[in-house]
Structure 1
Amino acid sequence: MSQGIDYGNLMHTAMRGLIKTVLKRVSETGLPGAHHFFITFDTREPGVEIADWLRERYPDEMTIVVQHWFENLEVGEDGFAITLNFGDAPEPLYIPYSAIQTFVDPSVEFGLRFESSDEEDEDPAEIDAESIEVEPEDEPHHDADIVSLDSFRK
């Protein structure tokens, strides 16, 4: 029998799949409305491709903004490529999804934060449940109405 279900890794895979889906849609149709992204990634992660001068300036992590000017957004299975403007100099980047530390869309107050591998190794039983924040609902919860499908059959 296996050691158990690794919910942490499953959750990270699902969240990275969400990022991939969002970026794919943006690559096909552009950014809708006021949406824009702050993406922080680990520049030391294998597979990250950035200019040497950017790696020197950001040796550990870097945050990019995908908003007004970006080109060549190509979304792949393991990461995405994008060209961004740094001081009027276009620079191509390749960022594996595994390098992403945070993904935030402030226009809708949405954000994802990935734990570092050190934090992932933490025993799940030791995680403080108080650290999980849940937004309160604005409207009171109402029980769902249960409708029998038989009422729609002829």
Structure 2
Amino acid sequence: MLKNGSINYDLFIQKAMRQAIRDLLRYASEKGIPENHYFYIEFLTHFPGVSLPENVREEYPQDMMICLQYEFWDLKAEDDAFSVTLIFDDEEYNIVVPYASILKFSDPSVDFGIEFSTDDIALDAEHLQALMDELDEENKIKVEDSDKPLDNVVSFSAFKKDHD
């Protein structure tokens, strides 16, 4: 989360806003969207992890907006993405949208909205890859170190009394 040796505040804010979207969608998936509310979500259709029917992706090669108001089912908000069933061309399809692909999220009923620039999304994609690489490296170190004896662990087996 550092950029050129300094704290990248923008990245922290972007992450917090995406977590807020995730939490709102989790709330909606568990309790439903309150009667007067509805969500518009615009996202990049070509972003890694986006799952759409091919005909929809062809119709919207860059981005698309969906509305969660009346005709949606099976909304699930996972840690990194949400999925929902919508109707496209009179057929139901389940789509998957990573939070990092979202350009805009709004609830016009209360004049609430969050907007991300494509630069922010590129930062998220880069940060995600860097974080994954960092975690892989940490796990590699833990595995390599697991074969070393631990000098700071006391074995209690020497102090056990035999109960034979």
Query: Where on the TM-score scale, by shorter chain, does this alignment land: which range?
Result: 0.7 to 0.9
Deviations 1:101-146 (A, max 9, x none): 000100000000011127978xxxxxxxxxxxxxxxxxxxxxxxxx
Please report the TM-score for the alignment, with normalisation by the length of structure 2.
0.70
1:86 Cα deviation from its structure 2 partner: 2.0
Once residues 120 and 71 of structure 1 are traced to their aligned partners in structure 2, the CA distance between those partners, rounded to angstroms, is 30
Paired AA for residue 27 in structure 2: R
| Structural mapping, 1:1-154, within 5 Å | 3-117=5-119
Deviations 1:13-53 (A, max 9, x none): 00000000000010001110211011000011100000000
**Other-structure match for 1:147:** none
Q: Which runs of 5+ in 1 are unaligned?
A: 122-154
Conserved 8 A contact 2:14-2:120: no
Paired AA for residue 60 in structure 1: Q
Structure 1 or 2, whichever has the larger Rg, is 2
Paired AA for residue 15 in structure 2: T
Deviations 1:58-90 (A, max 9, x none): 000010000001111111110000001124211
Percent identity over the alignment?
38
**Other-structure match for 2:132:** none
Once residues 96 and 121 of structure 2 are traced to their aligned partners in structure 1, the CA distance between those partners, rounded to angstroms, is 25
Once residues 98 and 106 of structure 1 are traced to their aligned partners in structure 2, the CA distance between those partners, rounded to angstroms, is 22
Task: Detail structure 1 runs of 4+ shifted over 3 Å in the superposition.
Answer: 118-121
**Other-structure match for 2:127:** none
Distance 1:120 1:42, change over 3 A: closer
Once residues 119 and 52 of structure 1 are traced to their aligned partners in structure 2, the CA distance between those partners, rounded to angstroms, is 23
The count of aligned residue pairs is 121
**Other-structure match for 2:144:** none
Once residues 60 and 88 of structure 1 are traced to their aligned partners in structure 2, the CA distance between those partners, rounded to angstroms, is 22
Paired AA for residue 78 in structure 2: G
Please report the TM-score for the alignment, with normalisation by the length of structure 1.
0.74
